[in-house]
């Protein structure tokens, strides 16, 4: 017989499965929402918190356990919100604090937990602390890493460190001192040896925990502590070394004391609040240190994301990851895509082959012990958008211009909303102001990106409103007519042959290519000119294109008037509405897989504590190109070959990413496919 790829109600036979552990995070499936690109409620073409709230029923129906929201705090948006000017207020671009509160409450009513980003390595250059530092207030610079330059006149950077995005990691200010920014110049690094920094972030965490959030994804969790003396590295292309070699600015032992203190804070709240490390380390063993029993609960496993479509490499990554985390009593996390990397449909080859492999890889990931992260739109099988026109791109790393010295800023007396709101620095000469329905001094586009386009302006008929349309979505927005597609991100993130330069700090401005370029004040200039090996390539917009909900034309229900990045005309068939009810669609495959994952006793979290056999997982002999492992009452087969493979059936098929042929004794596995079995 031929077993279809998906079928409604597949998990009904397992309705008596055991309930989830109180440690919900150990096997949770967590869905990443890139707020800008999820759903737009107010018609400015940019996603917002009310839009997210209106689409929560989709996530509940999908079957995830929690939602992780990318930054929505007050920010000049030089780095997609990862440059925070006020950690306790919502940027008007995304709503207000009441919207955040209502979103958390609505999610909890649907059984969804909420994780928010915290960005502790750096602030925005427009944060009140940094403004005070530039203005020369006594002691203000001690909260950051200001240093005198080298050379007789101090005109050379204090050391040879490079920004993750290319060029020196130092910017010189008007009085001659330099400040450190491991990312964009608009993101000065904090000095975590200063007690005020520690106290401030304790207060920030408590603010959001008191609002009801269930945890934090910690941006650059490996970066807050730098080696004593800030020593030179002695070689260039440092971004390519991240995750493979020790570096004096990442993965220093001192970060673990910060995380231990935060774990104590999280444990003081009821409801199993969690911390998730976005951390790069040279080995699985070093990464496991972040999830020791007295530190954070999870750490992203980027080795799995970077792994090529190769069974040997996959097995090695799986074994080493499970071994390292099990040794410290923690679960492993698995992830295939996020807002900083090429979508895995495209990484796996694109087209029909890429989609087949992406579907199979998702099933493999969801069958492994531990927790899994899904990036918005992957449940729809979205590819990367490769051909976005240059004028539409918003990733500030796309344009690398030389920057001038930062003068002491002038301050507008325009307070931001909420407590401790910063004053706003007036736009620099030539800095564009985007069109928006309610002007906000915090919502100018990323530096150097040019005017923010209104990508969609042609009226369209309202999208279909059948039962697949989520409540509260409102009328369908207008279509986009501009062409678009994706651009590959850092080559090492695409191929799995090297470390991903930085998987989580949002889009960031790439600095000048040489030490003579003093950076500060605002990016601009011509498109990419520096070698890509110097830092990020600035083409990350392709994975951030707003997702399609319903309708035959862009913006596919994203919002009422278009989207901040144009959507491809061929996405109509990939929308939530188009795929709902189609048993062969990627959306229904994800829904069925998540239902089975909850229901089958053999799936779920590994037991806490060291074990040589995590959650009973055992590899079995299999033909070349095929992975076969079992867990209690469950088996998984992955065929990575481009042709079918026959082998003895390991049980009764319950779900497959492509139709499988079996007579009960043998099975013919389709190429590039994954099948789940019960026995």
Catalytic residue ranges: 219, 278
CA nearest 87: which of 112, 53, 122, 51?
A: 122
DSSP state of 165: B
* Strand partners for 427: none
Query: Is residue 282 helix, strand or coil?
Result: coil
- Find out whether 577 and 464 touch, Cβ atoms under 8 Å: yes
Q: Could you give the count of Cα atoms lying within 13 Å of 373 in the half-sphere of its Cβ?
A: 25
Angle between helices 195-211 and 97-109 (to 10 degrees): 50
Task: Report d(CA 81, CA 48) in Å as an integer.
Answer: 12
Task: Give the separation between CA 259 and CA 617, rounded to whole angstroms.
Answer: 30
Residue 15 contacts residue 599 (beta carbons within 8 Å): yes
Question: In what side-by-side order are the strands of the sheet with 645-648?
Answer: 2-3, 660-662, 666-669, 645-648
Cα 580 to Cα 58, 344, 573, 587, 592, distances in angstroms: 11, 22, 11, 7, 12
Q: What angle do CA 249, 126, 515 make, to 5 degrees?
A: 45
Distance CA 658, CA 2 (A): 10
Run of H or E including 598: helix 586-599
CB atoms within 10 A of CB 154: 15
Q: Give CA–CA dist 181/595, Å, rounded.
A: 44
**173-177, Cβ contacts within 8 angstroms, sequence gap of 24 or more:** 173/134, 173/405, 173/406, 173/407, 173/520, 174/405, 174/406, 174/407, 174/408, 175/136, 176/148, 176/149, 177/141, 177/146, 177/147, 177/148, 177/149
State whether the Cα torsion 573-576-579-581 is positive or negative: negative
Cis previous bond, 652, omega within 30: no
């Amino acid at each position: 017989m031929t077993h279809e790829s998906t079928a409604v109600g597949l998990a009904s036979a397992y309705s008596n499965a055991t309930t989830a552990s109180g440690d919900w995070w150990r096997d949770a499936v967590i869905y990443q929402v890139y707020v800008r690109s999820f759903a737009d409620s107010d018609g400015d073409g940019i996603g917002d918190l009310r839009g997210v709230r209106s689409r929560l029923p989709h996530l509940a129906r999908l079957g995830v356990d929690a939602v992780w929201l990318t930054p929505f705090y007050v920010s000049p948006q030089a780095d997609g919100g990862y440059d925070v000017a006020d950690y306790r207020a919502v940027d008007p671009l995304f709503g207000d604090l009441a919207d955040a509160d209502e979103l958390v409450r609505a999610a909890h009513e649907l059984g969804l937990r909420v994780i928010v980003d915290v960005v502790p390595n750096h602030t925005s250059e427009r944060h009140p602390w940094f403004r005070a530092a530039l203005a020369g207030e006594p002691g203000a610079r001690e909260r950051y890493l200001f240093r005198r330059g080298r050379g007789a006149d101090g005109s050379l950077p204090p050391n040879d460190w490079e920004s993750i995005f290319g060029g020196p990691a130092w910017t010189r200010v008007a009085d001659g001192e330099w400040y450190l920014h491991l990312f964009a110049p608009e993101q000065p690094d904090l000095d975590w040896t200063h007690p005020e920094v520690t106290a401030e972030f304790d207060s920030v965490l408590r603010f959001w925990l008191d609002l009801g959030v269930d945890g934090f994804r910690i941006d650059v969790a490996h970066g807050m502590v730098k080696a004593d003396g800030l020593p030179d590295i002695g070689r260039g292309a440092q971004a390519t070394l991240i995750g493979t070699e020790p570096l004096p600015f990442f993965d220093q032992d001192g970060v673990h004391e910060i995380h231990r203190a935060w774990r104590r804070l999280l444990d003081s709240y009821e409801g199993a609040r969690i911390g998730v490390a976005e951390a790069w380390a040279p080995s699985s063993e070093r990464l496991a240190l972040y999830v020791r029993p007295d530190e954070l609960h999870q750490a992203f496993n980027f080795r799995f994301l970077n792994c090529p479509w190769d069974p040997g490499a996959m097995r090695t990554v799986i074994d080493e990851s499970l071994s390292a985390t099990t040794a410290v009593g923690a679960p492993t996390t698995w992830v295939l895509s996020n807002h900083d990397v090429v979508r895995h449909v495209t990484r796996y080859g694109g087209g029909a082959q890429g989609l087949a492999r992406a579907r199979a890889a998702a099933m493999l990931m969801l069958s492994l012990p531990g927790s899994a992260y899904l990036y918005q739109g992957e449940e729809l099988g979205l590819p990367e958008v490769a051909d976005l026109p240059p004028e539409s791109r918003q990733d500030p790393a796309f344009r690398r211009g030389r920057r001038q010295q930062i003068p002491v800023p002038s301050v507008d007396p325009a307070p931001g909303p909420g407590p401790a709101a910063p004053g706003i620095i007036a736009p620099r000469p030539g800095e564009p102001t985007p069109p928006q329905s309610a002007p906000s001094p915090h919502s100018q586009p990323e530096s150097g990106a040019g005017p923010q386009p209104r990508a969609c302006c042609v009226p369209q008929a309202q999208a279909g409103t059948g039962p697949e349309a989520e409540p509260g979505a409102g009328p369908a927005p207008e279509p986009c007519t501009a062409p678009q597609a994706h651009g590959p991100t850092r080559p090492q993130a695409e191929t799995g042959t090297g470390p991903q330069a930085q998987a989580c700090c949002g889009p960031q401005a790439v600095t000048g290519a040489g030490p003579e370029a003093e950076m500060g004040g605002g990016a601009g200039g011509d498109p990419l000119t520096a070698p890509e090996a110097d830092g990020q390539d600035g083409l990350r917009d392709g994975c951030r294109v707003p997702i399609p909900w319903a309708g035959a034309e862009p913006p596919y229900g994203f919002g009422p008037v278009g989207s901040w990045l144009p959507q491809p005309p061929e996405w109509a068939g990939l929308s939530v509405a188009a795929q709902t009810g189609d048993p062969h669609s990627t959306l229904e495959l994800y829904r069925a897989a998540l239902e089975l994952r909850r229901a089958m006793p053999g799936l779920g979290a590994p037991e806490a504590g060291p074990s040589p056999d995590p959650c009973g997982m055992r590899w079995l002999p299999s033909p070349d190109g095929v992975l076969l492992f079992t867990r209690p009452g469950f088996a998984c087969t992955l065929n990575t070959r481009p042709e079918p493979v026959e082998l003895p059936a390991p049980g009764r098929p319950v779900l497959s990413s492509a139709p499988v042929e079996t007579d009960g004794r043998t099975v013919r596995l389709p190429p590039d496919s994954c099948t789940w079995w019960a026995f």
